[in-house]
Chain A
Amino acid sequence: MRRELLSVVANEGVGPYTLLRVARGTLEPGLPGQFFMLEAPGRLLPRPMSLCFAPPGELAFLIDAIGPGTHALCALGAGDGLHVLGPLGNGFDLDVERPLLVGGGIGIAPLPYLAAALRGAPAVLGFRSDWHAEAARLVPNAQVCVEPQLVTELIPDGMDVLACGPEPMLEAVRRLAPQAQLAWEAPMACGYGACYGCAVEIDGELRRLCVEGPVLRAA
Chain B
Amino acid sequence: MLLNASGCLDALTAPDVARSLDVFVTKTVTPLPREGNTPVRIAETDVGMLNSIGLANPGIDRFVTRSLPQLEKLGVPVWVSVGGFEADDYAEICSRLDDEAEVAAIELNVSCPNVEAPVENVTRIVAAARLATRKPLWAKLSPAVPDIGEVAKAAQTAGADGLSLVNTVRGLKLDARTLRPVLEPGQGGLSGPALKPIALAAVASCYRATAMPIVGMGGIQDGLDALEFIAAGAQHVALGTVLFADPDAPSRIRIELHAAASERGWNSSDDAYAIAHEESLSLRTT
Whether a CB of chain A sits under 8 angstroms from the CB of B72 is no
Contacting pair B245 A69 (CB below 8 A)? no
Q: Count chain A residues whose beta carbon lies closer than 8 angstroms to a beta carbon of B.
A: 28
Whether a CB of chain B sits under 8 angstroms from the CB of A175 is no
Among B47, B244, B246, the residue within 8 A (CB) of A195 is B244
Interface 1/0s, chain B 170-199, versus A by CB < 8 A? 000000000000000000000011000000
Known contacts A45-B245, A190-B243, A197-B51; decide if A69 and B44 are in contact (CB<8 Å). Answer: yes
Q: Which residues of B contact A37 (CB under 8 A)?
A: 245
Whether a CB of chain B sits under 8 angstroms from the CB of A16 is no
Whether a CB of chain A sits under 8 angstroms from the CB of B14 is yes
> Bound complex: CA of A3 vs CA of B56, how far in Å?
27
Whether a CB of chain B sits under 8 angstroms from the CB of A211 is yes
Contacting pair B44 A197 (CB below 8 A)? no
Q: Which residues of A contact B9 (CB under 8 A)?
A: 194
Whether a CB of chain B sits under 8 angstroms from the CB of A193 is yes
Nearest-neighbour CB distance to chain B for A219, whole angstroms, equals: 21
Contacting pair B245 A187 (CB below 8 A)? no
Contacting pair A196 B7 (CB below 8 A)? yes
Contacting pair A189 B13 (CB below 8 A)? no
Whether a CB of chain B sits under 8 angstroms from the CB of A137 is no
Contacting pair B13 A211 (CB below 8 A)? yes
Nearest-neighbour CB distance to chain A for B176, whole angstroms, equals: 9
Between A83, A190, A198, the greatest number of chain B beta carbons within 10 A of the residue's beta carbon is seen for A190
Whether a CB of chain A sits under 8 angstroms from the CB of B265 is no
Among A3, A196, A198, A199, the residue within 8 A (CB) of B248 is A3
Q: Which residues of B contact A196 (CB under 8 A)?
A: 7, 27, 36, 41, 53, 56
> Bound complex: CA of A112 vs CA of B275, how far in Å?
57
Whether a CB of chain B sits under 8 angstroms from the CB of A128 is no
Q: Which residues of B contact A187 (CB under 8 A)?
A: 39-43
> Bound complex: CA of A19 vs CA of B133, how far in Å?
57
Whether a CB of chain A sits under 8 angstroms from the CB of B136 is no
Contacting pair B16 A189 (CB below 8 A)? no
Contacting pair A193 B13 (CB below 8 A)? yes
Whether a CB of chain A sits under 8 angstroms from the CB of B247 is yes
Contacting pair B244 A1 (CB below 8 A)? no
> Bound complex: CA of A205 vs CA of B192, how far in Å?
29
Contacting pair B42 A197 (CB below 8 A)? yes
> Bound complex: CA of A195 vs CA of B192, how far in Å?
13
The chain A residues found within 8 Å of chain B, CB to CB, are 1, 3, 37, 39, 43-46, 69, 83, 85, 186-190, 192-200, 205-206, 211
The chain B residues found within 8 Å of chain A, CB to CB, are 7-10, 13-14, 16-17, 27, 35-36, 38-44, 47-49, 51, 53, 56, 192-193, 241, 243-248
Sampled A-B contacts (13; CB under 8 Å) = A3-B247, A39-B245, A44-B49, A44-B241, A45-B245, A46-B244, A85-B247, A189-B245, A190-B247, A193-B10, A194-B9, A197-B41, A197-B51
